[in-house]
Amino acid sequence: MAAVTLLEARGLTHRFGGLTAVRGVDFDLQQGECHALIGPNGAGKTTLVSLLSGRLPVQTGAIRFAGQDITRLPAHRRVRRGIAYTFQITSVYAGLSVAENAGLAIQSRGGAEAEVSAALARVGLQDLAETRAGALSYGHQRLLEVAMGLALHPRLLILDEPTQGLAAGEIGRFKDLVAGLTPEITVLLIEHNMEVVMDLARRITVLNFGEVLATGTPGAIRANAAVQAAYLGG
C-alpha cells in the first residue's frame, strides 16, 4: 500500500539567539505510522516538535499538514486541525479529579461529558476517575495526559518522552496503549528508551546537532554506522 503523507516539513531552521537548535530539517510523517524521533540530549528534538505543534513560531521553512500549509497557524488552530502535543495541550490540573481533567479536554473540542469514562478506560484509568490528579503516581499522570490528548480526537498525537519516570511494569502497558493507537492515529514519539522505540516505531528519525542524521526503519537505523557513532554507542 502506498504511503500517504500526513505532515511534511521543509527547511526548518530555528535559532535561539546565536544557537541554531534546528538546522535545515526536512521531515515527513506518513499517515498511520508510529514515528520515533531520537538523538542525544540537546539535538533539537523538543525544538522540532515545538515547531510542528506551533508552540514555537516558525522562523525559516514551511510545514504542511493534511495537504494544507500550517506554517503560520498558532498552536490552538493546529489542535483544531488535529495536532495534539501532550506536553503542551494537556497540562494536568492537580486540584481537579482525573475525570474532571478528562472532561476539560473533551469540552475543549465541544465533546459530551458522557465520553469521559471511555476516554479514561482507553488508558486504564477508569478506577481512578474520582482521584485528585495531583495524588496520582507519575506514571498515571502521564497516562492521564495521553487520555486528554486522545480526547481531542487528534489525527497526530505527539508524545514527548512519555515513558520518562514510568516504572518497568508501566512501560509495558504504555507500549500496548501506543501500539493500539495506530493506524487510526499517527504517533510521533520523542523517546530515549531504545527498547520502546525499536518495538513501537515503524520509522525512526535521528537528530544530531539540530540536523537529520538518518531516517529509516528500526533495522536500518540500528545498522547505520553514523547513528551508532553519534547516539546508539558501540
Ligand X SMILES: Nc1ncnc2c1ncn2[C@@H]1O[C@H](COP(=O)(O)OP(=O)(O)OP(=O)(O)O)[C@@H](O)[C@H]1O
Binding residues (CB under 6 A) for ligand X: these are 16, 19, 21, 39, 41-47
Q: Which is nearer to ligand X, 40 or 82 (CB)?
A: 40
Q: Which of 152, 156, 199 is nearest to 174 (CA)?
A: 199
Q: Which of 94, 69, 91, 231 is nearest to 160 (CA)?
A: 91
Over the Cα atoms of the chain, what is R_g? 17
Q: Which is nearer to ligand X, 9 or 147 (CB)?
A: 9
Q: Which three cell numbers stand for residue 196?
A: 520502546
What distance lies between CA 44 and its chain's CA centroid?
A: 14
Q: Which is nearer to ligand X, 29 or 128 (CB)?
A: 29
DSSP 22-55: EEEEEEEEETT-EEEEE-STTSSHHHHHHHHHTS
Q: Which of 128, 190, 118, 188 is nearest to 151 (CA)?
A: 118
Q: Which is nearer to ligand X, 38 or 148 (CB)?
A: 38
Least gap, CB of 59 to ligand X (angstroms): 13
Least gap, CB of 99 to ligand X (angstroms): 31
Least gap, CB of 80 to ligand X (angstroms): 25
Q: 214 CB contacts (<8 Å, ≥6 apart)?
A: 204, 205, 206, 220, 221, 224, 226, 227
Least gap, CB of 162 to ligand X (angstroms): 13
Q: Could you tell me the CA-to-CA distances from 116 to 32, 125, 230 in Å, in that order?
A: 25, 11, 44
Q: Which is nearer to ligand X, 105 or 160 (CB)?
A: 160
Q: Which is nearer to ligand X, 41 or 130 (CB)?
A: 41
Least gap, CB of 45 to ligand X (angstroms): 3
Least gap, CB of 211 to ligand X (angstroms): 12
Sign of the alpha-carbon torsion through 61, 64, 70, 145: negative
